[in-house]
Structure formats: structure tokens, C-alpha cells
Amino acid sequence: MNEQDRAIINQGNWFSSRADEFQQSLLQHAKVIKLDAGEALFLRGDENSGLYAVLNGVIRVSGANSEGKEAVLTFIDASTWFGEVALFDGGLRTHDVHAQIPSRLLFIPYCALIQLLAAKPIYWHDFGVLLSQKMRLLFTSLEDHALLTAQQKVCKRLLIMTATSLARNTATIMLSQQQLADMTYLTRQTINQILQLLSEKNIVSLHYQRVEIIDKEKLAALAQ
């Protein structure tokens, strides 16, 4: 891991708010791995391999039914950590995880995590904070699904996916309209209508499997 990688990791709220001792203890076991676009990191039912953080690229989390139809739950981008659920319950992986585009990840092996926690049990609290942050997002998502209009759901989801963008008012999101439909529980037709409206208002620019956010401030106003 180079200095640029460390700077990316430090952008994440969870990691940057941990004590220096915890950060150093965790990163001393870190490895950098690369995935090609479409390559699987792990699949539902796989054994727990460890904890991950995105250095660059985009990671897609999804599930599939018995016919192979994929439903996208979320996308994970730079500085975000994931994989902590299996650390707590010792269970198998709950969803399929693939690289949406070529990606680099920071990887902390499971055996190293267990050794670290055995030596420093207090670090369970730090990982508990990571898990709690995900639970807060889940509860907010459930509330949004019940209370927001279709347009508000789309605008808010796009904003969430630009949270780690360094640009103040613009961002690029790599996803298809069907994937956005899966994430918001709306039809593809509804997604298309809303995105076309946002495009006419010069808030987004639409491309093949890519949405360019032109004006985050206007997008945020519509999400309210």
C-alpha cells in the first residue's frame, strides 16, 4: 500500500475516526488485491475470507434468484470498508460481490483479524461501530422506501453514491438504469422517466451504464 492508497483510506469516516494504534494494527496485515471488471470477489455462501476496503474502482453487491436474475443491492466505492458481518456471526457470505469496473482493494485476512482481536479484545468495539454505521444506513433506507416519492428515492440514492466523490458539485456513477431500479425498488420505466427529467433540468447527463452528476446541489434539493 502506497501513500496515495493510505490517503484514500483516510477519507473514510469509520477508519479516520479510529485511534492511531488501531489503524496501524489493522494496516500491518493489509494486502492489496486487484479485480477486473465483472470479476467476483466472493459469492453468497462462501466462507468468510476477511475484511475489505475499496481503494479505487466500484464494487457491486447483489443477489440472484434460482433463475439467475440479479438484483443489485448497492455499490461500494473508494474508502468504504465491507465484509464485517461475517466477522461477528462467523457465518457465510450473504451476497455476491463483483467488481463493476477494474478495482483495487485493501484486504485484511480473516486469520489476521482473529489474531488481532484475540490480542486486543477492545478492538471489537471499533468493528462494532463499522457494523452499526451500516445498520443506520439500512434503517434510513427502509424509511425512505416507505415515505419518499419515486423522484426523491432516485435523487437520494444518487447522492448517497456520490458521497465519497472529491469534486464538490459533480460526480460519475457507473451503473445501468436497471441496476438503479433494483436499488430503489422501482421499475426501469420509472427510472428512465425520472432520469430524463433530471437531464432536462441539467442536473445529470445520461450515458451507457453511466450517470454523470452535473449539479449535486440541485439534486439534493429535489431529494428533500
Residue 14 is predicted with a pLDDT of 95
**Is the pLDDT assigned to residue 186 strictly greater than 80?**
yes
**pLDDT for res 151:** 96
**What does the mean pLDDT of the chain come to?**
92
Q: What is the pLDDT of residue 160?
A: 84
pLDDT at 129: 97
Please write the tens of the pLDDT for every residue from 53-106. 999 998 999 998 888 888 888 889 889 999 999 999 989 999 999 999 999 999
pLDDT digits over 31-63, tens only? 999 999 999 999 999 999 999 999 999 899 999
Nearby residues of 44 by Cβ (< 8 Å), 6 or more positions away:
63, 64, 92, 93, 94, 95, 96
Mean predicted confidence (pLDDT) in 176-203: 93
pLDDT category at 165 given cuts 50, 70, 90 is: low
Please give the pLDDT value at position 174: 86
**Whole-prediction pTM:** 0.84
